[in-house]
């Protein structure tokens, strides 16, 4: 026996779009959250997700690609809604001088935001590939 729940969450693919680019000179889909500079060690970076690119404001989660670029020390990053206690598990781990990417489905908070915690200073990229609504 199996159950189908078509009305719970619906996955929607979108044209990939960059929503966060901390490096100078590279662009985001709407000019927001670009060139803001490297995230500091032991810090949170707040990023608006819902209502940008092709992600509607009613999205409850986003399908993202998180990339860490050239941290000077080993570290990790974790992504979660900004109003939540960050999870104790990492979303991505990285070594010094590495460029590492990982796909993640991240819940957005009531404002449509996510926060990225980074242990080491690093540049961060976020690309959106889809969303969940329901």
Q: Which two tokens stand for residue 6?
A: 């078509």
pTM across the whole model: 0.89
Confidence at residue 12, expressed as pLDDT on a 0 to 100 scale: 87
For residue 87, give the 3-state DSSP assignment: coil
pLDDT tens track of the chain, all 134 residues? 444 445 556 788 899 999 999 999 999 999 999 999 999 999 999 999 999 999 999 999 999 999 999 999 999 999 999 987 778 889 999 999 999 999 999 999 999 999 999 999 999 999 999 999 87
Q: Of how many residues is the chain composed? A: 134
Residue 76: C-alpha distances to residues 34, 44, 48, 85 (Å): 21, 12, 21, 16
Q: What ranges do the domains of the chain cover? A: 14-133
- The rounded distance, in Å, linking the Cα atoms of 70 and 102 is 15
Residue 47, burial from CB neighbour count under 10 angstroms (0-12, 13-18, 19+): buried
- CATH fold for the domain made of 14-133: Jelly Rolls (2.60.120)
What is the distance, to the nearest Å, from the Cα of residue 7 to the centroid of all Cα atoms in its chain? 25
Confidence at residue 11, expressed as pLDDT on a 0 to 100 scale: 80
């Amino acid at each position: 026996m199996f159950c189908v729940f078509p009305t719970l969450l619906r996955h929607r693919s979108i044209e990939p779009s960059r929503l966060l680019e901390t490096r100078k000179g590279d662009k985001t889909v709407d000019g927001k959250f670009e060139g803001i500079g490297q995230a500091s060690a032991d810090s949170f970076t707040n990023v608006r997700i819902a209502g940008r690119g092709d992600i509607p404001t009613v999205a409850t989660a986003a399908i993202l690609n998180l990339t860490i670029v050239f941290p000077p020390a080993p570290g990790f990053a974790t992504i979660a809604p900004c109003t939540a206690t960050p999870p104790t598990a990492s979303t991505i781990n990285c070594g010094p001088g590495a460029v590492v990417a990982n796909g993640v489905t991240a819940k957005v908070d009531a404002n449509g935001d996510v926060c990225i915690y980074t242990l080491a200073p690093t540049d961060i990229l976020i690309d959106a590939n889809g969303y969940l609504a329901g």
